[in-house]
Amino acid sequence: MRFAHPAWFLLGIALLAVLVGYLLALRRARRYTLRFANLELLEKVAPKRPGLARHIPVAGLMVGLILLTVALSGPTDEVKVPRNRATVMLAIDVSLSMEATDVAPNRLDAAKSAAEQFVQDLTPGVNLGLVSFAGISTVLVSPTTERAPVTAAIGALKLDERTATGEAVISCLQTIELFSRTIATADGSTEAPPARIVLMTDGKRTVGRTEEEAAQMAAAAKIPVSVIAFGTNHGTITTEGQEIPVPLDTTAMKQIAQISGGDFHTAASEEELKSVYAELGEQIGYETKDEDVSRPWMIAGTILVLLGAAAGLVFGARIP
**Predicted confidence (pLDDT) per residue in 65-102, tens digit:** 999 999 999 999 887 777 777 899 999 999 999 999 99
208, 194, 187: which is closest to 89 by C-alpha?
A: 194
Residue 289 pairs with which residues in a beta bridge?
A: 79
* Cα 158 to Cα 6: distance, rounded to the nearest angstrom: 60
In 22-136, beta strands by DSSP E = 75-82, 87-93, 127-133
Peptide bond into 105 cis (omega under 30): yes
Per-residue confidence at 311, pLDDT binned at 50, 70, 90?
confident
pLDDT band for position 298 (50/70/90)?
very high
Q: Above 70 in pLDDT, residue 206?
A: yes
Contact yes or no for 200/230 (Cβ under 8 A) = yes
Distance of CA 156 to CAs 58, 140, 169, 270, 298, Å? 72, 10, 21, 18, 55
Distance CA 112, CA 133 (A): 14
Q: What is the largest CA-CA distance in the chain?
A: 117
| Contact (CB, 8 A) for 164 and 207 | yes
Side chain identity at residue 155, one-letter code? G
- The 10s digit of each residue's pLDDT in 133-146 is 999 999 999 999 99
Can you give the length of the chain in residues?
Answer: 320
Structural domains in the chain? Answer: 2-78+292-316 (no CATH), 83-268 (3.40.50.410)
AA letter at 94: V
CA–CA distance, 5 with 169 (Å, rounded to integer): 45
Q: Are strands 225-230 and 263-267 parallel, antiparallel or unpaired?
A: parallel
- Specify whether the CB–CB gap between 201 and 247 falls below 8 A: no
Q: What is the pLDDT of residues 123-179, one digit of tens each?
A: 998 999 999 999 999 999 999 999 999 999 999 999 999 999 999 999 999 999 999
Reported pTM = 0.72
**Average per-residue pLDDT for the chain:** 87
Helix (H) or strand (E) holding 198: strand 195-201
The percent of residues in the chain predicted with pLDDT above 70, rounded, is 88
**Would you state the pLDDT for residue 43?**
54
Spatial separation of the C-alpha atoms in residues 275 and 71, rounded to whole Å: 40
